[in-house]
Structure 1
């Protein structure tokens, strides 16, 4: 696992309109859209102890639930931190997705499938409140309608009745990720 260092810091790059993390040796560009960032996300700030805790939690969860490389797990975890901590709250956009049968989902499962009329995507649950959840797309992209698409690591809020388990309950826990 890539360990956070004291000199890591978040900053907003005006030229590319992206939230980035300077990691000493290289710069990580998040998938957060500029228009969805909280106003204070555009202020340079250190990669905090809280950010590191969220990063570690997501990293370990991703490694346990998906068959991905370490580099991909780091990329997923850092995008999850950015999406969870630095983006604005938004209203659910559940109309893009198909309601699922009430299949009992493992309460500890953080990776789920969500289906639009055109495609099924793999999503990471970032936070849940009542019957809604903020989720981040792990698949390369997902077509929502003929004209609207989500890109990898973009977040959207949906009703939890759109979730399907990543693997059928009788199958093994690990899944070869298409992300």
Structure 2
């Protein structure tokens, strides 16, 4: 797994029109947040802080129970750190998701399930502002929100907490048999 260190640097690459994270050793991570959704400080070079490293660990632990390959878990965790630090505030777009009677009040780093007209999808909670949370798609396949709108892996959306259900990992338990006779 990728371990943060004090040489990592956030910077904006004008050539690629994207926020980047220099991981050292000639490795660069391209953040998935569209430029139009970045706050002004995202365009200034800055260090990957101790708080960023702690937040990264929180998100990595949150997605650990998802059925994703390790590189995808690192990808969503790094994108979530970038969103936590550099994403512009958003208004909720809860109408894409079903209202739930027994809603879940999530914490930062929780994985939640949201239900659309077409099915369900898992999202990582980046931040909870009380009534609504900024969430990131944790689905490798596109999530259909309606006939005209989809979300891709690591896309963000703000959703009212009354639409969220706690994620339950489906763990296969090994079956043991006793030989009798």
Whole-Å separation in 2 of the counterparts to 1:2 and 1:119: 33
Alignment of 1:2-13 (within 5 A): 2-13=2-13
Q: Indicate yes or no: 2:161 matched with 1:160.
A: yes
Q: In 1, distance between residues paired with 2:109 and 2:10?
A: 29
Rg: which structure is higher? 2
Measure the CA separation in 2 of the matches of 1:58 and 1:109. 5
Q: Which ranges of structure 2 fall in alignment gaps of 5 or more residues?
A: 173-181
Taking a change above 3 Å as real, the CA distance of residues 145 and 30 of structure 1, as seen in their structure-2 partners, is: same
Residue 132 of structure 1 corresponds to which residue in structure 2? Answer: 132
CA contact 2:105–2:161 (8 Å) conserved in 1: no
Distance across 1 between alignment mates of 2:143 and 2:170: 22
Q: In structure 2, what is the equivalent of residue 33 of structure 1?
A: 34
| Gap runs ≥5 in structure 1 | 168-172
Partners of 1:83 and 1:41 lie apart in 2 by: 10
Q: In 1, distance between residues paired with 2:52 and 2:90?
A: 21
CA distances 1:3-56 after superposition (whole Å, capped 9, x unpaired): 122221111122332211111131111111111100111111111111111111
CA distance in 1, matches of 2:61, 2:145: 29
Distance 1:147 1:15 in 2: 31
Asked whether 1:24 is paired with 2:20, we answer: no
- Alignment partner of 1:23: what SS? strand
Partner of 2:90: 90
- Rounded to whole Å, the distance in 1 between the matches of 2:108 and 2:16 is 36
Of 32-41 and 93-102, deviating more is 93-102
Residues 104 and 152 from structure 1, CA distance in 2 versus in 1: closer, same or farther, beyond 3 angstroms?
closer
Q: Are the structure 2 counterparts of residues 46 and 123 from structure 1 closer, same or farther at C-alpha, using a change threshold of 3 Å?
A: same
State the superposition RMSD in angstroms.
Answer: 2.3
Equivalenced residue count is 170
SS in 1 for 2:84: helix
Does 1:113 find its partner at 2:116? no
Sort the Cα spacing of 1:104 and 1:47 in 2 relative to 1 into closer, same or farther, 3 A. closer
TM-score (norm 1): 0.84
Does the 8 A contact of 1:138 with 1:152 survive in 2? yes
- Change in Cα spacing, 1:19 to 1:175, as seen in structure 2 (3 Å) is farther
Secondary structure of the residue aligned to 1:53 is helix
Quote the residue 1:55 is aligned against. Answer: 56
SS at match of 2:146: coil
